[in-house]
Structure 1
Amino acid sequence: MSAGPVALIVPSDFGVADLYELGIPAAVFGTPQPDLADPWYELWLCGTGPRTSTTTPGFTLHSTHTMDDIVNAGTVIVSWVPDEVIEDNAPVPPDLVAALRKAHANGARIVSSCVGAYALAEAGLLDGRRATAHWMHTALLAERYPKVKIDDSMLYVDEGDVLTSAGMSAALDLCLHLVRKDLGAHVANQLARRMVVPGHRPGHLGQYVDLSIPTTDEQGLTPVLDWARARLDEPLTIEILARKAAMSPRTFYRRLQATTGTTPLRWLLNERITRAQALLESTTLPVEKIAALSGIGTANNLRHHFLRQVGTTPSDYRRTFST
């Protein structure tokens, strides 16, 4: 787990925040899950002023900590900035910017969702880095901070000590990604199951979903994707999946990309890496066997893809998360 508490910045004298944007990290990090990991995260609600604040649509928050406490956090999450920053090109509150710089210099992991990226950019933490935000705000963000490499096609971007996400549900994907990094795939998947959301949506998935494509079980792709998950150790091609879905390969490709935001090959690779993570955590099978059972082939292939997607080697992952 990332050392230190999780500090969630909540507004007071700086303005009003969206309750949903604040509720996601509060639900993930603020609700103890002792049967999954003990201790769980410690959540601080760090107010930007007085100990009470207002959210949309009108709830009142009581912060537990102040801005001065942020420097001692292990992770800092910013999911809002005052409306004037977006609407009137007003500066991000200097106290917030200074606090983020101090926390980052002290080793904290800095995270934003949606327009919270403006605060990270103003603090200079995104200079020269890839970042994302909700697609409605990325054009202005790119114009205002030209040193930041904005990519509005991503659900979230992990740059190690600085992470950004699009708004709304993408923030939940990023929070689960943090849990996966800190506590392993099994814990993240069990938490996602309790929250009734997909266990893992990688950051490269698109922010856009074509709602004109039917997504019900009868007309959509759920049956064939479940069928494929049960056969990840077998050769699976677009042609095989399309045939199982009773579609042409072109139609299958288009529908999978429209409904999931990714391509069939990327979807398969993500599922196979997820299978490998579970096997590394729960078994003592050699890496060569895990590579075969997950459908990735050889141990070298698994190491290559695992390092690119998870950021570590299978052996190091097992040492960290093996049960």
Structure 2
Amino acid sequence: MLSKVSVVLNDRLAMFEFGVVCEVFGLDRTADGLPGFDFRVCGAEPGKPLNSSSPGISVTPQYGLEELLDSDLVAIPAFPFSAGMALDQSIVDAVRDAAQRGATVLTVCSGAFLAGEAGLLDNRKCTTHWRYVDQLAQRFPLATVDPDVLYVDEGNLITSAGTAAGIDACLHLVRRELGSTVANAVARRMVVPPQRDGGQRQFIERPVVDCSSDSLSETLNWMGEQLELPHTVESLAARTAMSTRTFARRFAAETGTTPVKWLTGQRILLAKQLLEDTDMDLETLANRCGFGSGALLRHHFQRLVGIAPAEYRRRFGARAS
């Protein structure tokens, strides 16, 4: 059960990554019917201000490192780790002791280096920001560092990449421990996607962009509302009064992908929602999402999400919790 959450701070902490942990676990949402956390901000010297990476801003931990020992979760935000930067050994020891006592340790961005100093990365899979993966692998050669993923869940150790990937890791942990409904409600309050799969790449060569074309915006909205229909490039081009060649070119220019790939992605998003929120059988669900058959749904779902639909429902369905 996830009840007590302690975030341990180092000097020159990164404010965004610290804010992510505070936003997910530190805010009181009990008035919305969500569980509350006993949230503690900890440092080696409680009451002593710590410099942040943002000029003119400092943070003062209210609690000492002893709070980590009975915490369910110890969160480590980013800080500018380098080979020449000495870590407070008391912090390293406290994180190691908390992990040995059963706490889950979650790191955001370069916070993984502190987990490594505590010996928590040895013979484990992990990740960090793509700029630091080589340094992490060199410093901790027993770790298996994945340079591409958003986060890695190793049970009592969760490591995440830079910045927004910390949100994904935190929400993943909430979903894992408290269920899909709670995680979705927290995400809704934060106005962020409720789940990005951890295996999603950190860096993509050509990101999907917002569509600025009025004619294509209308078509995209219509496609999103009619995912069960057997759309083709020809039928979509006719709807926008374009030739198929012009439509395909304009679509790629505006969205960064092809009509077929865009449709498949939207159908998978709908399938994930229905798997989470309903008991709909797979064939009915596949037809509702526009795949036509359960076999085709399973093929695309496995390829894009990384697990089978049945396994996804088992992990994240409303009744899974």
TM-score of the pair, normalised by structure 2: 0.76
Number of the residue aligned with 1:17: 13
From 60, 75, 78, the equivalent of 1:77 is 75
* Contact 1:202/1:270 (<8 A) preserved: no
> Any gaps of 5 or more consecutive residues in structure 1?
258-262
* Contact 2:271/2:286 (<8 A) preserved: no
Matches within 5 A, 1:259-270: 267=265
Number of the residue aligned with 2:197: 202
Q: Establish whether residue 185 from structure 1 lines up as the match of residue 180 from structure 2.
A: yes
- Write the deviation string for residues 24-66 of structure 1: whole angstroms up to 9, x where unpaired: 1101111112254443222111112232323233323232321
Matches within 5 A, 1:1-323: 2-11=1-10, 15-54=11-50, 55=52, 56-81=54-79, 83=80, 85-88=81-84, 90-210=85-205, 215-218=209-212, 230-231=225-226, 246-247=247-248, 251=252, 255-256=256-257, 267=265, 271-280=269-278, 285=280, 289=284, 293=288, 297-298=293-294, 301=298, 308=307, 314=313, 317-321=317-321
Structure 1 residues 247 and 308 mapped into 2: Cα distance closer, same or farther (>3 Å)?
A: same
* Contact 2:274/2:285 (<8 A) preserved: yes
- Work out which of the two has the higher radius of gyration on C-alpha atoms and give 1 or 2: 2
* Contact 2:160/2:166 (<8 A) preserved: yes
Structure 1 residues 290 and 61 mapped into 2: Cα distance closer, same or farther (>3 Å)?
A: same
Structure 1 residues 319 and 201 mapped into 2: Cα distance closer, same or farther (>3 Å)?
A: closer
SS at 2:49's partner residue? strand
What CA distance in whole angstroms lies between the structure 2 residues aligned with 1:192 and 1:107? 27
SS at 1:207's partner residue? coil
* Contact 1:229/1:271 (<8 A) preserved: no
What CA distance in whole angstroms lies between the structure 2 residues aligned with 1:241 and 1:159? 44
* Contact 1:132/1:138 (<8 A) preserved: yes
Q: Work out the number of aligned pairs and report it.
A: 304
Structure 1 residues 192 and 38 mapped into 2: Cα distance closer, same or farther (>3 Å)?
A: closer
- Alpha-carbon offset, residue 196 of structure 1: 2.6
- Alpha-carbon offset, residue 318 of structure 1: 4.1
Stretch moving more, 160-169 or 215-224: 215-224
What CA distance in whole angstroms lies between the structure 1 residues aligned with 2:37 and 2:143? 30
- Alpha-carbon offset, residue 270 of structure 1: 5.1
* Contact 1:5/1:74 (<8 A) preserved: yes
Q: Which amino acid aligns with 2:209?
A: T
Q: Which amino acid aligns with 1:16?
A: R
What CA distance in whole angstroms lies between the structure 1 residues aligned with 2:263 and 2:143? 29
* Contact 1:131/1:164 (<8 A) preserved: yes
What CA distance in whole angstroms lies between the structure 2 residues aligned with 1:150 and 1:202? 17
Stretch moving more, 195-204 or 310-319: 310-319
- Alpha-carbon offset, residue 78 of structure 1: 0.5
* Contact 1:77/1:111 (<8 A) preserved: yes
Q: Which amino acid aligns with 2:167?
A: L
What CA distance in whole angstroms lies between the structure 1 residues aligned with 2:198 and 2:236? 24
Q: Which amino acid aligns with 1:8?
A: V
What CA distance in whole angstroms lies between the structure 1 residues aligned with 2:233 and 2:44? 51
Structure 1 residues 250 and 232 mapped into 2: Cα distance closer, same or farther (>3 Å)?
A: closer
Structure 1 residues 238 and 10 mapped into 2: Cα distance closer, same or farther (>3 Å)?
A: farther
- Alpha-carbon offset, residue 189 of structure 1: 2.9
TM-score of the pair, normalised by structure 1: 0.75
What CA distance in whole angstroms lies between the structure 1 residues aligned with 2:233 and 2:200? 18
What CA distance in whole angstroms lies between the structure 2 residues aligned with 1:238 and 1:36? 44
What CA distance in whole angstroms lies between the structure 1 residues aligned with 2:138 and 2:236? 42
* Contact 1:224/1:245 (<8 A) preserved: no
* Contact 2:128/2:147 (<8 A) preserved: yes
